[in-house]
Amino acid sequence: MYPATGGMHALTRLMHSKKYSKEKMDKEIYKVYVHNPPHLFIPSAKYFITGATYLKKHFLTSEESKEKLLSSIMKGCEKYGWVIEDWVILDNHYHLMLNAPDRVDTLGAMFKEIHKFTALWLLENFPELKDEMRIFYNYWDSCITFEKSYFTRLNYIYYNPVKHGYVEEAGDYLWGSYRLRLQIEPDHLNQMKEKYPWDKIKVKDDF
């Protein structure tokens, strides 16, 4: 039911997106949004995404709310042609690894819709939120162009529930792709953990 792998082994998935043609590189688009850092968009590249609730409030505590956010992400990616490779959803933020389509300038519109429709559903189904001014704050993206950066951020997604104290073992956390991947490629994941430690990178994640 949930997207776990994007259909390819992690290294194969990276290689599919690493070989940028000159035409694709010429399509690079730099955009600057108000209140956001500059965004580098490269077609068919990997994008590491962090999204957060407003004021870091725990609006996503229930399984139903996490289910709705995941559903909105899946629908948004399908609509705009992005591919979910790995994901984790916690009580007040989430991380994703996405594969970009040719039209990468759709990223902002996609997350605007994801946050909008998830927020509307939460306000409708959780009366205690009716006085909240906002549900989601923003999202941040990083275009991944190096192998080490890619695998390190995959591990960061996998072990984020451990980092924030939700579980002691990453495989015990239900709301992420790691649990499903662990059933398919445990040896590969253990090798990745040793080779690309997740706790050495700087990621906006003060949640």
Query: Which CATH fold would you assign to the domain 10-200?
Result: Alpha-Beta Plaits (3.30.70)
The predicted-structure confidence for 77-88, as pLDDT tens digits, reads as follows 999 999 999 999
Provide the mean pLDDT of the chain: 84
pLDDT at 147: 87
User: Quick one: average pLDDT of 6-31?
Assistant: 46
Candidates 98, 77, 107; CA nearest to 154 is 98
pLDDT at 18: 45
pLDDT at 189: 92
Cβ proximity of 170 and 162 under 8 Å: yes
Q: Say how far apart CA 171 and CA 189 lie, in whole Å.
A: 11
How much of the chain exceeds pLDDT 90, in percent? 65
What SS3 class is residue 162? Answer: helix
At CA 10, angle to CA 74 and CA 207, rounded to 5?
Answer: 60
Residues 6+ apart with CB under 8 A from 190: none
User: Quick one: average pLDDT of 154-171?
Assistant: 96
Q: Say how far apart CA 170 and CA 178 lie, in whole Å.
A: 7
User: Quick one: average pLDDT of 86-115?
Assistant: 95
Q: Say how far apart CA 173 and CA 89 lie, in whole Å.
A: 10
| Reported pTM | 0.82
Confidence of residue 43 (pLDDT cuts 50, 70, 90): confident
Residue 9 pLDDT > 80, yes or no? no
Residues 6+ apart with CB under 8 A from 125: 64
pLDDT at 31: 44
Higher-confidence position of 44 and 73: 73
Which phi and psi angles does 110 have, rounded to 5°?
Answer: -65, -45
